[in-house]
Amino acid sequence: MAASRDARRLYRLVQEGRLCALREELDMDIEAANRDYKRHLHEAASMGHRDCVRYLLSRGAVVDCLKKADWTPLMMACTRKNLEVIQDLVEHGADPLLKNKDGWNSFHIASREGDPPILQYLLTICPDAWKTESKISRTPLHTAAMHGCLEAVKVLLQRCQYQPDCRDKCGLTPFMDAIQCGHINIARLLLQEHKACFCAEDSLGAQAIHRAAVTGQNEAIRFLVSELGIDVDVKATSTHLTALHYAAKEGHVSTVQMLISLGADINSKDERNRSALHLACAGQHLACIEFLLRSGLRDSPDITGTLAQQLTRNTDILQCFGHSMMA
């Protein structure tokens, strides 16, 4: 019990960066770990306390010790924008190519944070650091694009040799990641500098416009349709769903409005003969149903009958259909 209290006190000193107090207290095992196998060096690196990091290293702390999920102190340091701590760890032998349980190395983690000097440094000391994929085949370029790290994406395109439209296990490209997260500036850069294909399909045959509809990224949809000329009614090849179907399924009313304003066919059917209204009803999205009914669906009487059993427990939706029929 006393040992546990001692360990907690030491972790607190490291978190707070209190080096003098740490020196006075640290007569115990320098590799002591908590229940997650996190050691003092992990904590100091993750908090960016350079003095503590250097002191622990000088005392012989294992530089590539592993905590839960196989994270090293260098990986923890890469979650912070503190180049000096990263340099100290590397100079004491930290390996940037080690991977955690998800298949991420330190460069991949740094790409998520998006600090260009850190990426440039890691590429200088380990030129092959970019040649890594997670266990689901995501590259640092995917990650930087998803997290909106524009300057990091510029570094990756300048110094690394990623194939245009590299895909993860779901078939997603960095361009799709940028679009579905609303990072239009990165999408433009990938088109201009990496020759990304804006109509590439994922493993389910969905394109970037479909992914943007799922996440409700209205401005990204406008960019794809108005600037790039993508057909607003293009269907995913495996399901025949349009962007309007996807938006209705998720209940994104503003996205449904956007798509219709861009000319989406409200009566378009998927391979199972379902319209966007069918999918809005299946998801019990009342506001979306009301908007679609007001927008002039030709086959609402047929849909009312088809979905009657499914909607019997939702009187608000049934009333919505009733008002639509009487209008």
DSSP per-residue codes, 275-309:
-HHHHHHHTT-HHHHHHHHHTT-TTHHHHHHHTTT
Residue numbers of the chain with a pLDDT score lower than 70: 1-11, 13-14, 16-29, 297-327
Q: What is the pLDDT of residue 27?
A: 57
Which amino acid belongs to residue 33?
A: A
- CATH classification of 1-95, choosing from 1.25.40.20, 1.10.10.10, 1.10.10.2160, 3.20.20.70? 1.25.40.20
Return the pLDDT at 194: 96
Summarize pLDDT for 232-250 with one digit per residue, the tens.
999 999 999 999 999 999 9
Domain 201-298 classification at class level: mainly alpha
pLDDT of residue 35: 84
The residues with which 33 forms a beta bridge, in sequence order, are 39
Rg of the chain over Cα atoms, rounded to whole angstroms, equals: 26
| 23-77 pLDDT tens trace | 656 555 687 778 888 999 999 999 999 999 999 999 999 999 999 999 999 999 9
The residues spanned by each domain of the chain are 1-95, 201-298
- pTM attached to this predicted model: 0.85
Residue 26: predicted pLDDT: 57
Q: Collapse the DSSP code of 248 into the 3-class scheme (helix H, G, I; strand E, B; otherwise coil) and give the result.
A: helix
SS3 content of the chain, % helix, strand, coil (to 5): 55, 0, 45
Task: List the one residue out of 152, 162, 158, 87 whose CA is nearest residue 126.
Answer: 87
Residue 269 φ/ψ region, left for φ over 0, alpha for ψ in the -120 to 50 degree band, beta for the rest: beta
- Give me the pLDDT at residue 5, please: 54
pLDDT at 2: 46
pLDDT of residue 325: 43
Whether 1-95 and 201-298 share one fold: the answer is yes
> What are the residue ranges of helices labelled H in 195-250?
208-215, 218-222, 243-250
From CA 134, how far away is CA 266, in angstroms rounded? Answer: 39
